[in-house]
Amino acid sequence: VIDATSLGWGTRVKGFIACFAIGCLCSLLGSCLLWVPKKGLMLFAVFYTLGNIASIGSTLFLMGPMKQLKRMFEPTRLIATIVMLLCLILTLCSAFWWHKEGLALLFCILQFFALAWYSISFIPFAR
């Protein structure tokens, strides 16, 4: 079963590239939609968050889902992971349920810094 469901290295790299490209495209689209009158900030928050989720999801192709989850919740990066996931969730909540544009923008900014902190946590001695 494991051999039948595992992906070859070439397929993993292609999946990573495709998912990462979709993430970058969503983030770029969100930046372009920022200038749409009235709903631009909400669209930016949603597409920027979806882009970050897709970019993080792209690493699942390289490491595999279980190894990725184990590494995300290691004690050395547990706080960075929780803050990053919380910022992603709070951005979407402020856009969809609370309808607070300023809060959505704040959470997008925090999301950027949380994602940077999370990414740096994978570099040895960078913490």
Say how far apart CA 46 and CA 85 lie, in whole Å. 14
Q: What pLDDT was estimated at residue 5?
A: 59
Whether 56 contacts 72, CB under 8 Å: no
Which has the higher per-residue pLDDT, 127 or 20? 20
CA distances from 4 to 10, 44, 60, 68, 90 (A): 16, 40, 18, 20, 38
d(CA 106, CA 20): 24
Confidence grade of residue 1 (pLDDT, cut at 50, 70, 90): very low
Mean per-residue pLDDT of the chain: 88
Per-residue pLDDT tens over the stretch 102-117: 899 999 999 999 999 8
Find the mean pLDDT for residues 93-107: 90
User: Which of 59, 108, 110 lies closest to 83, judged by CA?
Assistant: 110
DSSP 9: H
Please give the DSSP secondary-structure letter assigned to residue 98: S
Give the model confidence (pLDDT) of 6-37 as tens digits: 788 888 899 999 999 999 999 999 999 988 88
In this prediction, residue 53 carries a pLDDT of 94
Full-model pTM:
0.85
CA distance 21 to 76: 28
Q: Is the dihedral of CA 99, 101, 106, 109 positive or negative?
A: positive
CB 22 within 8 A of CB 54: yes
Query: What does the pLDDT read at residue 73?
Result: 92
